[in-house]
Amino acid sequence: MCRVFAGQDPEGYRQINRSIRIDGHSTSIQLEATFWALLDEIADSQGLTTPKFISKLYDEAIEINGQIPNFASMLRTTCALYLRGHRPGIEEHSAPKREAA
């Protein structure tokens, strides 16, 4: 059963650092190659570059939640949500926003 997971290509979990601008500041984000590939796919599905998608995601998360305790973890869970079929749609634009705590 675990051979599918244990036998995966090590290239998929190789750590990759990317430097991007978020909120006007240059920052470095370290994620596994598989997550970068998924973020590239998500960004492309939104008609954005990956840095632009990540910057937009950051801005919206700050607006909704007020803070992001661990942005790299948020990016990983974004990928998990995407793989589970959660996709931005028209209905999200009419959904009420949560107040920041």
Return the pLDDT at 96.
47
Tokens of 77: 């869970």
Mean pLDDT over 23-35 rounds to 95
Return the pLDDT at 12.
95
- Taking only the tens place, the pLDDT of each residue in 41-69 is 999 999 999 999 999 999 999 999 999 99
User: By C-alpha distance, which of 98, 38, 22, 29 is closest to 65?
Assistant: 98
Please tell me the pTM assigned to this model.
Answer: 0.83
**Residue 38 contacts residue 59 (beta carbons within 8 Å):** no
Classify residue 65 by burial, with Cβ atoms within 10 Å: 0-12, 13-18, 19+: middle
Tokens of 13: 């979990």
Q: Where are the domains of the chain?
A: 9-84
CATH superfamily for 9-84 is protein bp1543 (1.10.3990.20)
